[in-house]
Amino acid sequence: MQVTPYDPSIGSLNNFRTQGRAAITPLHEAVPGRLRIKVWGLFRSESRKTELEGVLQNLDWVYSARANVLTGNILIQFDSQVAVAQLVAEIERLARHGNSRPASGIKARSVAARRPQSRRQLRPPAETTSAAAQPQAAWHALSREAAVQSLDSSADGLRESIARERLARYGRNRLSAAKSRSDLTLFLQQFLSPPVAMLGISAAVSLLTGGLLDAAAILGVVGINAIIGFVTEREAEKTINALGQTAPIKTRVMRDGRVTDIPLEEIVVGDVLVLTPGCHVAADARLLSSSRLTADESALTGESLPASKRADFVGTAETPLADRKNMVYKDTIVTGGNGLAMVVSTGRFTEIGAIQSLVGEVKTPVTPLQRQLNGMGLQLALISAGLCVGIFGIGVLRGQGWLQMLSSSISLAVAAVPEGLPAVATTTLALGIREMQRQHVLIRQLSAVEGLGSIQVICLDKTGTLTMNQMKVVTLRTHLHELTIEDGRFRAGQEIIDPSTASDVLRLLEIISLCSEAKLSGEPGRHQIAGSPTESALIEIALAAGLDINDLRHDRPLVKTVHRAENRPYMITAHQNGDRLLLAAKGSPADVLKMCRWQQVNGEREELDDAKRAAILDYNDELARNALRVLGVAYGHADEAKATVPNDLVWLGLVGMEDVMRPGMAELMSQFHQAGVETVMITGDQSATAYSVAKRLGLSNHKPLEIIDSASLDKLDPQLLQSIAKNTSVFARVSPAHKLKIVQALQGSGYVVAMTGDGINDGPALKAADVGVAMGDQGTDVARSAADVVLEDDNLHTMITAVAQGRTIYGNIRKSLRFLLSSNLSEIEVMVIGTAWGMGEVLNPMQLLWINLLTDIFPALALALEPPERDVLEQQPRDPERPIIDRKDFVRLFRESLALTGGAMGVFAYSLRRYGLGPKAGTNAFMALTIGQLLHAVVCRSEQTTVFNSERPGNPYLNKAIAGSLTVQMLAAFVPQLRQILRLAPINAADALAIAVGAIGPMVVNEKLKERQHRGE
Amino acid sequence: MKKRFFFASESFTEGHPDRLCDTISDALVDEYLKQDPYARIITECAISKGVVFVAARFASNATVDIPDIARSVITGVGYREDDFNAADCTVVTSLITMPSEQRNSTDESELADEDIEAMTARNQITLFGFACTQTPELMPLPITLADRLAKELSAARRNGQMPYLSPDCTTQIGVEFDQGRPVRIDNITVIAGLQGPRAVDAMQIRKDLEQRVLISMFAEDSVKPNKRTEIFVNPRGVFPKSGPASHSGMTGRKTASETYGGFARHSGSALSGKDPSRIDRVGAYAARYAAKNVVAAGLAEECEVQLSYALGHAQPVSIQVQTFGTGRVSEDDIQERLKEHFDFRLGAIIRDFQLRHLPTRYKHGFYRQLAAHGHMGRSIIDLPWEKTDKVALLR
């Protein structure tokens, strides 16, 4: 038997044993003889499925076993006499050891499991492109050389010509464009709703009763409804389908032995990918070389911990996906290390492509709001259907013709159901997304729009979000000199000095130039520095002092580097200096000082005693207290590079740096506070620094400033963290990996949490947050792909606009809803009252449909386009638990509908008295109700301000919608043909006055009531 | 006077969570005063499991890394890392900045008498100071012994005589009194927190306690444990964990043991975590100073001085003296002499004891030493209110 150096099965089994995770989790066992169990390792593993099903079905007490690779669950029906425990034990055994090989796909439970799985798979499904089948092999089981050979490529990459040829043969590297619903389907679907079906029945009834014209009119209504629905929905769908497509468009490969950036879609089999931290893997690829490479494969495996990768691993054909250490997969992300990998498959031939075709069509995700609206729509439809049946019954009992009653109650049902409801929500969301894009806020998840409006806490990463993430050296302190640096000039007190005259300072600058990984390129005077912000700042200051760094580095070539690491807060480099080594050290002052025995004083070295050490540390504290990042610098000599920590270095001094704060942050914080959003800063700084920054920003909003200082939040009991995190404004000394804990703790205390981030480590926290916000420009691919919202201009100020927008969108949906519900209710009320009192049919079916057409569509859509209210950023965030229309709202809109009904019925009663039963009374009531409803749209513009309030911003769309609708209504009253269809009687001046009173009266009443209620609150 | 009675006082070693909280609070007071002698600073601290909560209100120019100070105190106490790790613990700080005019602008030593008079009490409180002839430092014997035993236990832990002890131990010593004089040690109780890899049985602890601690501790005393003295070690069994991992702590919960062990009255107000401008702290020191000088001057064997401060007054509104029938002169007489020779105004106390500048004078701080080693009687540093320099004036 061939023994491979890294047997995955052994490795993961050991893993399993030491970590002792449960291999299975029973999910549902309420029904005797039926059990649903989650089996780790089953997820996306067809072989596990076959194996588990096979073994279980062979047991004589199991009737059936069905495993699902998409959910990772198995459903078992078994003899209910058998104890569940026995079955569980059996499956546990299988899951651990399997029949043929140990369970190697056992996974840690995803820490970011808060989100439904479907949200990860926003990408549209694969469309079948005509492409030749790509070479297939168990690439992970091949050696590097064999793989390269069979891909007919080389470690230097493909030649351009071959790459072009392959691109033509195998097709582009994409999971194909969105195949959204075709226009025809979308249009046809407009007719497949219950209201339209009822209209069809109504048309049939009209035909039966000889009303050919009626039937035609009804069909016209259906057509118009469908066209409008189709147009708005298509636009909305376009916008929503474009969400989430912010994957990078270029990727780095080797071609012809050169590293170049090429469009992602042009990657072909045999290309060599250059993998660096934070980069998106463009296609499935076999590693050629790797150094401490790790990848986040959660998109593929659901495993949230990064998987470690190594080129020298060789698996077997059975090695499961998660254990193929020598492979990287499309749409996963490199979280650390680097490497080269040769592409083995692209596009839909990749693992992720296969999964997408497995899952089938990816539906546009439904947000909680849409779900709520759909539920409400159904409820309303049922209620109004009930009412219509009631009206039919009463009418028939009252002696009306049943056919006529049937037709009018169906029409009422159609008119009363706010069928535009889900469309209004989708359209509003889509329009909001577009509006935000205009303001450089990219929405990646539809639900984020709602989330933005309900944010209660925003966690801000200090570095990169509040600050520019650009360090600047502001002070240097050696034993003799205390220099401040401004605009590249060195000052001692007020005096500008030349640093090259101070030998200790010069030495210090030399050491920080040597002990650095920052690369320097370009001509003197126009240098370009590539490196971490800290090292770049150090190099910059050395250049400012006139040091020739290239020369220096050339003279003292680097021999060895000891990197900063956990538990080693410093970096040491060894350089050849004649036949000895020069050691250069920089890092945490306390730790660097511990390695020192001497200090440099004017070129001489002087032994350090306790007092001198204390003085240095006091200096350090002083700088740190002023919110500076402080590094200690030391040097020494050695005969050879040893592994031991040196203890006889010479202390040179301290360098104080600061991260430049973005402008206007304090004002922004107070804007957030005014909007009821609490601000939390997360920083790796020590408490004193964090305090001074928080104070400057006014983070605590005039409340006591609470700071949690902990380097090991993971060791804290989550419940405890939850309770202390509640009023905290600052988390200090936090490592990025612990951000997730903070988000979870805040969510645990019931907050809706937004989180900003841009680093590789921020992924899980961004995913877990209700609204994950990534910086567009500086952020890494990981952060961007995990975020719900991307601020394209890296400007946090945009966030407050996004919050305002989110709130406005939600508010506008509420406004439309309120309008739709109250106006439709009034129609029902008019009909119920008329029929119950034996006043006959107040409105005929045609009139009802007319109202439906005129008021339900354009005014409701226009309300969805309301501009933000003035005080939108002074209101408290909405309670996420509160339904979009709660009992209080319902009482209010019922009251409003009664006012509308009152107006119409008043006119009806007046006309009855004057003209007796006949078309005259119905006409007047119809006119009053329609105009009253149109004016009611104005009432629905705000929950606080009224039409009497002249300062509120106008809504031109609504003005146009109302003006247009009123014109059409006038046409109905005066154009004979329309009048005939609607069976309207002519209107005289006295009627017009009555109609005006009946239409305007309800608006005045409703606005006055709103004013009074608002004042009362 | 009662003929015969027993009295027991308890004390705690430095790692007891309540005492730890007091020490952290006072270490912060030290740090603020070191950087800014005129700082106003009030801190309170609570500890539970791995979380240290510090609330601070201040008006100061100083910038203090509060978690850093808290961690350094915890590290100094000497818990094993598995039990309570300074680096791993979470420090929650709640900070309130007071308006800068709350900060003192001038030194009390430079103030004229009118200005001292204008510095009125900001808190209303009645304070007590006590002294008696039971020990050379003129403190009640039970608390003195309990404190001394706690210190000896800490020393035994540090010097390896009882390495298994944790920094969290509680001591209690019961003393029998006859005619007001201590005559016998009735009982000695030690609740010993344990830490370390191996379990230690109670017999071993008891043996070590008797042989390595008690013998030397009482070597120079006239009242010593005898055969009838009962010694209890962990009478209710050993706690599986000690320190903050097993019980929580808070500033100001050990006011009896930091004053007179319950033998005399005390105000009940916490002493730790307050800067010198708090009369409820420094008044207690002034009252002790007065009482001790009265006893040292031989005016009485036992003396309790009561000072009542009211808002808006610099002088205490009431100064009362009780000598419990041991006075050589009348209580009224002593009271008059105190009024004449002691200045109990807030500003004067700060000035006379130099309370703003003491933290800079001691390398390891001043107030945190009080919290860790006792506010009254003998401490590891010389306390200004323990001086008997007014004896001649009182006689």
The residue of chain A with its CA nearest to that of B48 is A720
Best mutation target among B43, B63, B363 (most A Cβ atoms within 10 Å) is B63
CA distance A531 to A537: 9
Cβ B94–A705 below 8 Å, yes or no?
yes
What is the mean pLDDT of the segment spanning A444-463? Answer: 87
Cβ A626–B89 below 8 Å, yes or no?
no
Cβ contact A619:A633 at 8 Å:
no
Which of the residues A271, A284, A323, A461 is marked catalytic?
A461
What is chain B's alpha carbon radius of gyration, rounded to the nearest angstrom?
A: 21
What is the mean pLDDT of the segment spanning B233-243? Answer: 85
> What is the pLDDT of chain A when averaged over all its residues?
80
Neighbours of A977 (CB within 10 A): 9
Sheet holding A73-78, edge to edge: A24-28, A34-39, A73-78, A62-68
Q: Sign of the CA dihedral B209, B215, B216, B221? A: positive
For residue B233, what are the β-bridge partners? B190
Domain at A808-1016: CATH architecture? Up-down Bundle (1.20)
What is the mean pLDDT of the segment spanning A172-177? Answer: 68
3-state secondary structure of B260: coil
Give the tens place of pLDDT for each residue, B98-157.
988 888 878 888 888 899 999 998 889 999 999 999 999 999 999 999 999 999 999 999
Structure tokens at A919: 């078309």
Cβ contact A673:A694 at 8 Å:
no
Residues of chain A positioned with their CB less than 8 A from the CB of B63: 625-626, 688, 691-692
**Residue whose structure tokens are 């030349």:** A498
Cβ contact B246:B239 at 8 Å:
yes
Nearest CB partner across the interface for A715, out of B63, B88, B96: B88
Nearest CB partner across the interface for A715, out of B50, B68, B92: B50
**Residue whose structure tokens are 């998987």:** A307
Residues of chain A positioned with their CB less than 8 A from the CB of B68: 686-688
Looking at residue B332, what is its pLDDT?
Answer: 95
Domain at A434-466+662-802: CATH architecture? 3-Layer(aba) Sandwich (3.40)
Structure tokens at A427: 């359209």
Residues of chain B positioned with their CB less than 8 A from the CB of A621: 65
Q: What is the CATH number of domain A132-177+246-359?
A: 2.70.150.10
A461 is catalytic: yes
Cβ A691–B63 below 8 Å, yes or no?
yes
Which one, of B382, B67, B323, B16, lies nearest residue A686 by Cα? Answer: B67
For residues A429 and A779, the model is more confident at A429
Cβ A687–B87 below 8 Å, yes or no?
no
Neighbours of A989 (CB within 10 A): 7
Cβ A733–B67 below 8 Å, yes or no?
yes
Residues of chain A positioned with their CB less than 8 A from the CB of B64: 625, 688
Chain B from 9 to 68: CB within 8 A of any A CB: 49-51, 53, 55, 63-68
Best mutation target among A691, A695, A699, A717 (most B Cβ atoms within 10 Å) is A691
Cβ A626–B63 below 8 Å, yes or no?
yes
Type and span of the H or E element at A774: strand A771-775
Residues of chain A positioned with their CB less than 8 A from the CB of B244: none
Residues of chain A positioned with their CB less than 8 A from the CB of B51: 716, 720, 724
Which one, of A709, A716, A714, A723, lies nearest residue A681 by Cα? Answer: A709
Looking at residue A593, what is its pLDDT?
Answer: 92
pLDDT band at A86 (very low <50, low <70, confident <90, very high): confident
Residues of chain B positioned with their CB less than 8 A from the CB of A727: 94
Strand pairing of A307-309 and A789-791? unpaired
Give the tens place of pLDDT for each residue, A958-996.
999 999 999 999 998 888 888 888 888 888 888 899 999
The residue of chain B with its CA nearest to that of A711 is B88
The residue of chain B with its CA nearest to that of A714 is B88
Helical axes A845-856 vs A956-974, angle rounded to 10°: 160
Looking at residue A181, what is its pLDDT?
Answer: 64
Residue A568 DSSP one-character state: B
Q: How many helices (H) and strands (E) does chain B have?
A: 13, 11
What is the mean pLDDT of the segment spanning A995-1007? Answer: 92
Residue type, position A761, single letter:
N
Cβ contact B183:B225 at 8 Å:
no
Cβ A626–B49 below 8 Å, yes or no?
no
Cβ A710–B49 below 8 Å, yes or no?
no
Looking at residue B18, what is its pLDDT?
Answer: 95
Looking at residue A707, what is its pLDDT?
Answer: 92
Domain at B118-134+252-394: CATH architecture? 2-Layer Sandwich (3.30)
Neighbours of A109 (CB within 10 A): 13
Looking at residue A864, what is its pLDDT?
Answer: 85
ipTM value for the complex: 0.87
pLDDT band at A1004 (very low <50, low <70, confident <90, very high): very high
Cβ contact A843:A922 at 8 Å:
yes
Least confident of A347-361, A447-461, B333-347: A347-361
Residue type, position A872, single letter:
V
- Please give the CATH topology (third level) of the domain spanning A471-523+551-659: Calcium-transporting ATPase, cytoplasmic domain N (3.40.1110)
Looking at residue A26, what is its pLDDT?
Answer: 67
CA distance B16 to B84: 12
Type and span of the H or E element at B321: strand B318-322
Type and span of the H or E element at B183: strand B181-194
Structure tokens at A339: 């490497």
CA distance A839 to A910: 13
Cβ B67–A687 below 8 Å, yes or no?
yes
Residue A465 DSSP one-character state: I
Inter-chain CB pairs, A–B, below 8 Å: 82
Looking at residue A262, what is its pLDDT?
Answer: 86
Which one, of A346, A355, A281, lies nearest residue A118 by Cα? Answer: A355
Cβ B67–A732 below 8 Å, yes or no?
yes
Helices (H), chain B: 17-35, 66-77, 113-118, 141-158, 202-208, 215-217, 255-258, 279-296, 331-341, 346-353, 358-361, 367-373, 391-394
Chain B from 81 to 120: CB within 8 A of any A CB: 87-97
Give the tens place of pLDDT for each residue, A569-617.
888 999 998 888 899 999 999 899 999 999 999 888 899 998 899 889 8
Give the tens place of pLDDT for each residue, A727-777.
899 998 887 778 888 999 999 888 999 999 877 677 778 888 889 998 877
Nearest CB partner across the interface for B93, out of A625, A695, A709: A709
What are the structural domain ranges in chain B?
A: 4-11+141-239, 17-106, 118-134+252-394
Nearest CB partner across the interface for A711, out of B53, B64, B87: B87
CA distance A724 to A745: 9
Its CATH class, for the domain covering B4-11+141-239, is: alpha beta
Q: What is the CATH number of domain B17-106?
A: 3.30.300.10
Structure tokens at A12: 């993961």
Phi, psi at A676, each rounded to 5°: 75, 15
CA dist list (Å): B242 to A285, B167, B191 = 55, 8, 10
pTM beyond 0.90, yes or no = no
Q: Sign of the CA dihedral A200, A203, A205, A207? A: negative
Non-local (6+) Cβ contacts of A28 within 8 A are A34, A35, A36
Q: Which CATH number fits domain A8-97: 3.30.70.330, 3.40.50.970, 3.30.70.100, 3.90.230.10?
A: 3.30.70.100
Residue A130 DSSP one-character state: -
Cβ A625–B66 below 8 Å, yes or no?
no
Looking at residue A100, what is its pLDDT?
Answer: 38
Whether the domain at B17-106 and the domain at B118-134+252-394 fall into the same CATH topology: yes
Looking at residue A102, what is its pLDDT?
Answer: 35
Cβ contact A841:A835 at 8 Å:
yes
CA distance A776 to A795: 9
Best mutation target among B94, B97, B98, B100 (most A Cβ atoms within 10 Å) is B94
Residue B162 DSSP one-character state: S
**Helix/strand/coil percentages in chain A, nearest 5:** 50, 20, 35
Range of A59-68, A177-186, A375-384, A950-959 with top mean pLDDT: A950-959
